[in-house]
Amino acid sequence: MPPQPPSTSGINDHTHRDSSSHAPSHRNEQPLITTRSDAGRNDSSRSDPSRSDSSRSDAARVSANALTTQHEGASESEFFSPIPRGYQRGFHKYVVVLGTVMSGLGKGIFSSSLAKMLKDKGLVVAPIKMEGYLNIDSGLLNPYRHGEVFVLEDGTECDMDLGTYERLLDQNLSAQNFTTSGRIFKEIIERERRGEYLGRDVQMIPHVTGEVKRKLRDLAVRGDGRRPADVVFVEVGGTVGDYENGFYIEALRELAFEEGPNSVCFVALTYIIEPPALGEQKSKAAQLGIKRLMEAGVQPHVIACRASNPCSDKILQKIAMFSNVPLRRVFSLHDRESIYMIPEELRQDGIDREILSLLNLHDRTDTSQEDEHREQWKQFVRRLTIPRTRNVTIGVMGKYSDLRDAYASIDKTLEHCSALLGCKVEARWLDTTATTDANVAKQLEGVDAVIVPGGFGMRGVDGKIAVVRYCRENSIPYLGICLGFQVAVIEFARNVLRLDAASSTEFDSQTFKTPYPVISELPEQKKIEGLGGTMRLGGQDVNITPGSLAQFLYQGRTVVRERFRHRYEVDPEFIPQLEAAGLIFSGRHPTRPIMQVLELPRPGSVIHRTPVELLSAEGSADPTLGHPVVAHPFFIGAQFHPELTSRPLRPQPFFAGLVAAALMKKYASSLDLADPSNADVRRWVMTASVSTSATLSGTPRTPRSTVQRA
């Protein structure tokens, strides 16, 4: 078993530590301090056995005088390097991943693959993505410019790479795992306004770089939320040489100097071009990119070469020669069939052994745990890559469909379901901007199931509503996510309740306001709109109706936790009327009248209606009462984003159900659910007639609706 991490109850002082010690000694607890007195030690005192203990002590004292311990913000010191309480110098290690040549090389995929390999060995890992842009977070970024906005459990809106880390590590992250230049500058300005720098002129160096080091050390102490980190993985956004990330690289250079040898491993991800006109790989761009990194004072320890095809020995040798990196630490990172193949193939190349050696971590690994996790992962990859006889086509009807990264989590969740259900899932990305009732049938020709994902704004909404109606009326399996949930409510109100002008207040304009706002902000949200607090973000509990399709997919659970990112809700005034017409709200907020999952009853289901009298303005009984309800084999919507919680070994249930429904639709005549070989599909198919309730037991009813039918 790996050794236990040292106690985090104290804090390092800055006395000299014998270099032969494998773990830091306990220090006296003291106020937050700023610099490491031994950061400037002469490394020769550690490596030269001929030097006496007294000589080493003298050298340490000289260094201590040079880097005098100061309280945070002290004006008499030029150094600023905060150390949080509980930080154990020598225990926490760092792996820094930097990109050269160009952006978009897949630093997040590579870094998360490295982190997975070390986590499988029993180490505690904590990743962080450090972005150079000035936005405080990713919440307002256009998906066309920056891809998907990923939402963490605590509500942080961040870069899509955080989704890659969560999926590969099977680990929930938080705000401490993500930062931007804007957030760092904001925190520094706030500290300055509070007088925390004690009159100092606040500068890029040491204060901005010091704030970066503070964040990294804070994360090291927090670790995975339960234990301090053995290894912090630092991914620096952008490309070496960019103005906006230069201070990150300088901060990391300082961090490596202060932490000492065998504490920080720099990994350079570069790109080997292969111009079609030449027909051979060229390494010059990679050489110059690595040279730019070395000019910043950073010597890489490991180099990974991105390429379309495996890098030749000649290319790897050139990179090693021009970068001062041993050939055994230069690796080919060429294209694979799936990103989930990368961890095992990098492990076979030996990159994990090299990093463990560089950081002196071999004695912390757990071989038996690694073997178990490797076997589980290899089984998943085998299921993902073996030839499959069945295939389904899922139409993803979005408004950013030209850029797949805008729906990265949906794409990966479908891949997880592909391995689970033993079928090939092809996603057909379709833009709904030009979709109408007249052409929707042609657009959805050959599609076995449909996903309508989230989004903001009016563009493409009418097309989404047309898609919902076609799926509902033609029994095409449907999954609506966030906005896809809302447009399903709007479509049902328009075409089943015949409220022709039903819509969302989000789409109101100066010239038109819907008379039937079936989707709107809740009253308590409207009151705080001026404070900018109307977005519901992050993980929240959802109560699931017993006997519903949602409960079946969640394996009988009645309370689940999912992640939200939206502002508008189903207006409570319309809920009784929608339910009476057959729409089932099978997921609700635990205490408030917020609808979070909807579904249509399955054919043959018995719907126990709520005994509520819905009266029109004329006082007559609502004609929908007593009429046959609208039935569908698989029609479900979620106000939350189910794709954000899917993991490779645990696909999200709504997606698994959708793909299974698509298989049933396409292979109904040949797919025998009684066959043991189809057990994985059978698990996700709700075959028996199930009595469902349109009302969650114990949920307070909303007031009687007085909305007039159009």
* 125-182 confidence digits (pLDDT tens): 999 999 999 999 998 888 878 889 999 999 999 999 999 999 999 999 999 999 999 9
Query: CA-CA distance, 294 to 42, in Å (whole number)?
Result: 21
Query: H or E element: which one contains 579?
Result: helix 575-580
* Residue among 452, 430, 433 nearest 442 (CA): 430
Structure tokens at 694: 């349109």
Query: What average pLDDT does this structure show over 357-382?
Result: 96
Please enumerate in sequence order all residues whose Cβ is within 8 A of that of 556, keeping only pairs 6 or more positions apart, or say none. none
Query: CA-CA distance, 233 to 115, in Å (whole number)?
Result: 7
The C-alpha angle with vertex 565 and arms to 563 and 569, in degrees rounded to 5, equals: 105
Start-end ranges of CATH 3.40.50.300 in the chain? 93-381
Q: Please give the full DSSP string across 185-253, using - where no structure is assigned.
A: HHHHHHHHHTTTTTT----IIIIIHHHHHHHHHHHHHHTTSSS--SEEEEEE-S-TT-STTHHHHHHHH
> By percentage, how much of the chain surpasses pLDDT 70?
80
Residue reference for tokens 């100097």: 257
What's the mean pLDDT when you consider all of the chain?
A: 84
- 230 close to 123: Cβ distance less than 8 angstroms: yes
Query: CA-CA distance, 295 to 285, in Å (whole number)?
Result: 15
Catalytic residues: 482, 641, 643
Look at 45-54, 180-189, 212-221 and tell me which has the smallest mean pLDDT. Answer: 45-54
Query: What average pLDDT does this structure show over 525-550?
Result: 78
Torsion angle, CA of 588/592/595/597, rounded to 10 degrees?
-20
Question: Phi then psi for 234, rounded to 5 degrees?
Answer: -110, 115
Query: CA-CA distance, 551 to 558, in Å (whole number)?
Result: 7
Structure tokens at 483: 């906005």
Please enumerate in sequence order all residues whose Cβ is within 8 A of that of 141, keeping only pairs 6 or more positions apart, or say none. 135, 149
* Residue among 432, 570, 423 nearest 493 (CA): 570
Residue 505 has pLDDT above 90, yes or no: no
Query: CA-CA distance, 644 to 154, in Å (whole number)?
Result: 13
pLDDT at 73: 44
Instruction: Determine the CATH number of domain 93-381.
Output: 3.40.50.300
Residue reference for tokens 């040549």: 101
**Could you give the count of Cα atoms lying within 13 Å of 200 in the half-sphere of its Cβ?**
25
More confident residue, 302 or 45: 302
Q: Where are the beta strands (DSSP E) in 72-142?
A: 93-99, 125-131
Residue 36 has pLDDT above 50, yes or no: no
Look at 207-221, 462-476, 669-683 and tell me which has the smallest mean pLDDT. Answer: 669-683
Start-end ranges of CATH 3.40.50.880 in the chain? 387-693
Give, as one character, the DSSP assignment of residue 178. Answer: E
The class (CATH top level) of 387-693 is: alpha beta
Residue 673 has pLDDT above 60, yes or no: yes
- 448 close to 708: Cβ distance less than 8 angstroms: no
More confident residue, 290 or 697: 290
Residue 15 has pLDDT above 50, yes or no: no
Residue 216 has pLDDT above 90, yes or no: yes
Query: CA-CA distance, 631 to 615, in Å (whole number)?
Result: 24
* Residue among 348, 351, 262, 339 nearest 302 (CA): 351
Query: CA-CA distance, 440 to 485, in Å (whole number)?
Result: 19
Give, as one character, the DSSP assignment of residue 371. Answer: H
pLDDT at 145: 81
* Residue among 494, 506, 480, 496 nearest 595 (CA): 480
Measured from the Cβ of residue 346, the count of other Cβ atoms closer than 10 Å reads 20
Structure tokens at 100: 């050269």
Look at 359-363, 366-370, 452-456 and tell me which has the smallest mean pLDDT. Answer: 452-456
More confident residue, 57 or 384: 384
β-strand partners of 233: 95, 127
